[in-house]
Amino acid sequence: MLPEIFLNEEQKSLRHEVRKFVKNEVPRQLLLDMDEDKIQYPREYVENLGRHNLIGLRFPKKYGGRGLNWVAEVAALEEISVLGAALGCAYSMPSIVGEAINTFGAEEQKQKYLPPIIKGEIISAEALTEPRGGSDFFGATTKAVRQGDKYILNGQKRFVVGAEGADLFAVYCVTNPDAKPHKRISMILVERDMGVRVEHVYGLMGTRGGGTGRIIFKDVEVPVENIVGAEGAGALIFNQMMIPERMTSAGGSLGSARSALEIATRYTNRRAAFGRKIRKFQSVSNMIAQGITQLDAARAIVYGAAMTVDQGLPHRRMVSEAKRFATDASWEIVNMAMRAMGGIAYTNVYPIERYVRDARLVQIWTGTNEVMDQIIQHEYYEEVLSEKDGARDSEADAKDAAVQGEKIYTDDDMWDGWE
C-alpha cells in the first residue's frame, strides 16, 4: 500500500487510531440522515472527534493539539473521508480556521479560541465567498468600519459551510476601501451571538448536512481585539489559508476515491455474468487497474505536497497540483466504480451515487480546478524562466540548434542580423 513509504510509526499509529474511530464511533444513520437533510450540522460528531483528540492535529500541544505535521494530517484525512465529503469537511474546518488563528492570531486569541475549537466545543467556519465574488477574493464588499474599540460589520457571505451550526466565523472584510486591493482586506473573528444572521441554507446535490448557507452581517459590533494579525493583513492570511483549504480537499479526496474503488473491487469479484465473475472481463478489470493507478498517483502527489509544506520549501505549485489532481482523480475513480458495477451503483443500495455527488463539489470549492491551473502554470513559468537550477540546456541538443535565422519568435526576429 503506497502510503506505507510516506509514514513513520507515529503516523501509522495515528492512521490506525482514526480508522478505529471511523469504524466504531460514526453511526451509519448519521450519514443517511445528513444526506436526507434531516441533520443540518453534525455537531455531536465534531464534539466526539474533540473528545478523541483528533481535531487540530498540527497545532501546538499547549493549545490541545498534537504538534504533528501535514503528512500526519493527510493520513488522518484519508481515513475520515471514507465517510464522505460532508463529514470530511466538518473534520477539516478546524484545521482551516485554526490555521489563521495559530499563524497570525495574538496570543490572547489563541488562548481564547484554539483550545475549545480543538476540543470540539466551538464549531468554526470560514466566511470568504460573496454573492458576486466567486473566485474574486479581492473584490469583496463586506465592510468593517472601526468606531472606537469596535468594528461595525455589514455585508454578506455565501457558501459558508457551517452557516447553520457554527459558533465562530473567520470573516474576510474590507477595512480600508481606498487602499490597493492587497491591502484593503482584513480577517475578523465574529461570534454567532454578536449578531450573525443565517439568511438561507442551500439545498445541495451532494455534501449535504454541513449547514452550508448565506449569512448576513447587519451593523454587527465586533471588538477590535478580534481582528487577526493587523488591518490589511487579509491577503497574507488568505495566501497561508490556501494551504489547509487545498490540502484538506486533496487529502479528503483520497478517502472517498479509495472507498468507492474498494466497493467496486469487491462487487466485481462477487458478481457473475455469462458464467464467470465480471472481474474476468477485461473491460471491467481494466477499470479497476486504471482506478488504483490514479489513486496511487494522487496519493503520491498529495503526500509529496504535504512533505513540501512540512519542510518549508516553496509549495504554492505543489499544493495547487495536489488539489487539482487528487480531486479530478477522485471524480474519475468514483465514476469508474459506478461504470464497473453498472446500474446497481446508480441506486442507494450502494453509496457510490453519493460519492459521485460529493466528488463534483470538491473540484469546485477552495478554488476551482481551473483556478488551480492558472496558479500551476504561473508558478511553473516562473520556475523555468528563472533558470536558477543550473540544469543542462537541452534546447541546444539538436543538430541545427544554432543555425541563424531559424528560431523566430517575433516579427523583429525576422530581420535580426540582416543588412
Q: In CATH, what number does 126-232 get?
A: 2.40.110.10
DSSP string, 101-135: HHHHS-HHHHHHHHHHHHTTSS-EEEE---TTTTT
d(CA 239, CA 137): 11
pLDDT number for residue 361: 95
- The burial class, CB within 10 Å (0-12 / 13-18 / 19+), for 115 is middle
pLDDT in tens, 276-289: 999 999 999 999 99
- 396-417 per-position pLDDT tens digit: 999 998 888 888 888 776 666 5
Q: Give φ, ψ of 343 to 5 degrees.
A: -60, -30
For the chain, the domains span 2-123, 126-232, 236-386
User: Please, which pLDDT band fits residue 367 given cuts at 50, 70 and 90?
Assistant: confident
Query: Is 418 a residue whose pLDDT tops 70?
Result: no
- Asked whether the predicted pLDDT for residue 87 surpasses 70, the reply is yes
Q: Does domain 2-123 have CATH number 2.60.120.10?
A: no
DSSP run (H or E) holding 145: strand 143-147
Please report where in the chains the cell 457510490 appears, as a residue: 352
- What is residue 413's predicted lDDT score, i.e. its pLDDT? 67
Mean pLDDT value across residues 62-70: 97
For 256-264, what is the mean pLDDT?
A: 97
β-strands 124-127, 168-174 pairing:
parallel
Residue-level pLDDT at 192: 97
Q: What residue has cell string 464497473?
A: 340
Mean pLDDT of 319-348: 97
What is the full DSSP assignment across 49-78? HHHTT-S-TTS-GGGT-----HHHHHHHHH
> Do residues 142 and 130 touch, judged by C-beta distance below 8 A?
yes
Model pLDDT for residues 144-174, shown as the tens digit of each residue: 999 999 999 999 999 999 999 999 999 999 9
pLDDT value at residue 40: 93
Catalytic one of 245, 321, 353, 379 = 245
Choices 3.20.20.70, 3.40.50.12500, 3.40.190.10, 1.20.140.10: CATH for 236-386: 1.20.140.10
Which helix (H) or strand (E) element contains residue 318? helix 316-341
Q: What is the mean pLDDT of residues 114-125?
A: 97
Strand-pair partners of 216: 156, 197
Please say if 245 is a catalytic residue: yes
113/352 Cα distance (integer angstroms): 37
User: In angstroms, rounded to a whole number, what is the distance separating the alpha carbons of residues 161 and 268?
Assistant: 36
pLDDT of residue 343: 96
Closest by CA position to 71, among listed 202, 219, 247: 247
What per-residue confidence (pLDDT) applies to 13? 97
The secondary structure element, H or E, covering residue 181 is: helix 181-184
Distances (CA, A) of 371 to 183, 276, 332, 376: 22, 46, 19, 9
